[in-house]
Each structure stands twice: as structure tokens, then as C-alpha cells.
């Protein structure tokens, strides 16, 4: 009932009672749940279709929204077998590793089981593989393949450059050691991708700080050029710091730099780059700078330019 005052008189009106929104039961707010769980607590299918709930996977509901990869994986646990382990791109992302030149980890969840048939659900990619206990670890509440095993699993589908960049990132982050990678690779026998993983082992470098640096390094090695040193501090003859070189061909005193777009758009960065280039030139270094367009669209130009510089300065 509502009482209103109008021109000194009292007017009584009755408004239709609006139905109150039923609060989310505590049991459902705690984590992912199935339809039967909701119905048992008096939450109808129509309520589940409202804005207070989301359905990240068929048969799975969550109170609120699911936005992060970790939240999606936790939601998936409601319909996955107990033996399921997150693997491949999903495992790499959960380990905090980059997925260079690949699709976003927010795509399908990769799930490995060790027996039966592969998981077949919308939004998931299932695999059946043998996993040793030492090849599984935990990230939060999730069972995930170790970084080393993830490297081997992805070797079957990743390009050489993507796999090299992933391996570089693993070593840099400490997610895997070279010894762990070697041991994991040797235990996989003649499985598809193992040969590629083994060949790239000797090229991995924890000093590489970006996928583009990994790509440049692989371009030069594949072209038969000397293997450059990675992210090297350079000093003048008096011992004063000059610069940190992305890639260095020490014998020829040639520095190769990858220039991201911020080097062009940031005025302070541009001014810094000019001063830095001048210091290196004065100390006798030749600096070759390449953009993403050069590296990705004109790799032969990059190789030819570096080869000519090395030949001229040896």
C-alpha cells in the first residue's frame, strides 16, 4: 500500500506488488553446478536463463559470469572425468606462458585423459595420451600437464618458431629446465613432434625476451648465419655501459634490433633510441633495426641485409 499527499488531501493507492528476485542459494554461489543441483534447491530453468547465472558449457552453470581462463577450467570440472588433466595451449596459458603466433587460449579448452575416449564437448578439445605422474602438476585447484610435457605435446602442432618461442619463455620463467625438457622428450619415443622438439632444444635460450627475438634468431640460424648472442650488455673501452643489444654478432660488431610499434609512436622512446644508436655507432657497432612487417612479411630481406653486413665487416 502506498499513501500519497495531493493538494492537502490524503489519497490512498495500492500498487501491484512486484515479485522480489530470489537470492542465489549459497550452495550455488560457491562454484559451478549442474541443472539437477539447481532444481534441487528450487531454482528453475527459467531463472538459470536470467542475468544472474551463466552457462560456460552445456550442462554447467555458474552464479555470475565466467571471464578468465582459470574460471572456465574450474567450471569445466563439473562435467569432466576425475582423471582429466588440462593440457596443450590451455596448460601453457595456465602456466603463464605466451602462445606466440597461435590462437587465443580463450578458445577451446584442451583436456587430456589417459584411458577411454577423448572428451567430446562443445568448447573443449579432447586428447587421449599416456601421462606419467611426474608429467602432471597442479596450478591452483587444477591438474595440468607440466611445462616440459606441454612443450612435447605442442611440438606435434606448433610451428618451429612458435615452439622455439614457447621453449624460450619456459626457460626464462623457470617453468621448466633444459634437463626436464630433455628427460620428457626422451621418454616419448617416436611420437609425432618429438623430433622437432629434440632439434630445437639446442637453440633454446632463456635470455630471449619476446617471440620476435626468437623468430629472428631462428631465421638467422636456418639461413646458415652465425648464431647471435641474445640480450647482451655492451660497454665502451672505458667500461661505461652503452646499451643492451637484442641480438649481437660479436665478431662483426653488428647489433640487430626488433623495433615494436611503440618505438615509433612514443616520442620519449624514439628520442632514447636515437641517442642509443649514436652511442653504439661511435663505439664502432653497426645497428640494424627491423620492424614486425620486415620480419613477418619480408624475412628474406632481413636475412640478406644481415648477411651483407656480416660479410662487409669480417
Cell numbers describing residue 20 = 522480489
* pLDDT at res. 1: 42
Considering only residues 50 and 308, tell me which one the structure prediction assigns the higher pLDDT.
308
Q: Calculate the average pLDDT of the chain.
A: 86
| CATH fold label, 211-313 | Endonuclease; Chain A (3.40.960)
- Identify the helix (H) or strand (E) that includes residue 60: strand 60-63
18-28 pLDDT per residue, tens: 444 567 777 77
> Phi and psi at residue 44, in whole multiples of 5°?
-85, 170
Closest CA to 277 of 242, 231, 240: 242
- The per-residue pLDDT for 31 is 78
- pLDDT at position 19: 45
DSSP alpha helix (H) spans, the chain: 26-29, 35-40, 45-48, 69-76, 88-94, 147-155, 160-173, 178-186, 194-201, 211-222, 262-265, 267-282, 292-297, 299-313
The whole model's pTM is what?
A: 0.82
- Distance, C-alpha 155 to centroid of its chain: 15
Give pLDDT tens digits for 82-105: 899 999 999 999 999 988 765 555
Contact status, residue 128 vs residue 112, Cβ threshold 8 Å: yes
Evaluate if residue 4 carries a pLDDT over 60. Answer: no
Question: Residue ranges of the domains in the chain?
Answer: 25-65, 76-201, 211-313
- What does the H/E/C string look like for 210-239? CHHHHHHHHHHHHCCCCCCEEEEEEECCCC
* Residue 206 to residues 73, 154, 171, 222, 252, Cα–Cα distance (Å): 29, 19, 5, 19, 24
pLDDT tens by residue, 195-219? 999 999 999 999 999 999 999 999 9
Q: For position 269, what pLDDT does the model report?
A: 67
Rounded to an integer, what distance in angstroms lies between the CA atom of residue 300 and that of residue 295? 9
The pLDDT assigned to 286 comes to 96
End-to-end CA distance of the chain: 94
pLDDT of 6 above 80: no
pLDDT of residue 242: 92
pLDDT surpassing 90 at residue 299: yes
The answer, yes or no, to whether residue 312 has pLDDT greater than 70, is: yes
Say what the pLDDT of residue 24 is: 74
State the pLDDT at residue 48: 83
Give the side-chain half-sphere CA count within 13 A for 139. 22
In the structure grid, which three cell numbers stand for residue 47, read together? Answer: 531463472
Query: What was the pLDDT predicted at 16?
Result: 45
Chain segment 27-81, per-residue pLDDT in tens: 777 778 887 788 788 787 878 887 788 888 888 888 888 889 999 999 999 899 9
Q: Which pLDDT does position 20 carry in this prediction?
A: 45
Amino acid at each position: 500500500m502506498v499513501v500519497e499527499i495531493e493538494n492537502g488531501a490524503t489519497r490512498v493507492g495500492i500498487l501491484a506488488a512486484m515479485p522480489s528476485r530470489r537470492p542465489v542459494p549459497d550452495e550455488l554461489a560457491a562454484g559451478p553446478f549442474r541443472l539437477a543441483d539447481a532444481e534441487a534447491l528450487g531454482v528453475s530453468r527459467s531463472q538459470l536463463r536470467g542475468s544472474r547465472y551463466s552457462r560456460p558449457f552445456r550442462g554447467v552453470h555458474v552464479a555470475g559470469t565466467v571471464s578468465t581462463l582459470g574460471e572456465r577450467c574450474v567450471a569445466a570440472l563439473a562435467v569432466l572425468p576425475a582423471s582429466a588433466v588440462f593440457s596443450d595451449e590451455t596448460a601453457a596459458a595456465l602456466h603463464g606462458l605466451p602462445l606466440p603466433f597461435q590462437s587465443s587460449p580463450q578458445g577451446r579448452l584442451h583436456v587430456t585423459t589417459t584411458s577411454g575416449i577423448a572428451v567430446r564437448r562443445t568448447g573443449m578439445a579432447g586428447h587421449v595420451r599416456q601421462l606419467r605422474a611426474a608429467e602432471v602438476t597442479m596450478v591452483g585447484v587444477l591438474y595440468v600437464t607440466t611445462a616440459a610435457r606441454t612443450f612435447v605435446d605442442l611440438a606435434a602442432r606448433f610451428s618451429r618458431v612458435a615452439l622455439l618461442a614457447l621453449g624460450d619463455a619456459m626457460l626464462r620463467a623457470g617453468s621448466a629446465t633444459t634437463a626436464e625438457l630433455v628427460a620428457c622428450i626422451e621418454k616419448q619415443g617416436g611420437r609425432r613432434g618429438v623430433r622437432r622438439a629434440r632439434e630445437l632444444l639446442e637453440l633454446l635460450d632463456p635470455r630471449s625476451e619476446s617471440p620476435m627475438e626468437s623468430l629472428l634468431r631462428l631465421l638467422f640460424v636456418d639461413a646458415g648465419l652465425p648464431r647471435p648472442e641474445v640480450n647482451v650488455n655492451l660497454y665502451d673501452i672505458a667500461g661505461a655501459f652503452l646499451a643492451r643489444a637484442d641480438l649481437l654478432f660479436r665478431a662483426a660488431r653488428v647489433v640487430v634490433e626488433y623495433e615494436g610499434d611503440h618505438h615509433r609512436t612514443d616520442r620519449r622512446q624514439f628520442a632514447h633510441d636515437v641517442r642509443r644508436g649514436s652511442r653504439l655507432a661511435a663505439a664502432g657497432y653497426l645497428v640494424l633495426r627491423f620492424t614486425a612487417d620486415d620480419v613477418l612479411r619480408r624475412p628474406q630481406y632481413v636475412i640478406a641485409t644481415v648477411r651483407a653486413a656480416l660479410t662487409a665487416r669480417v
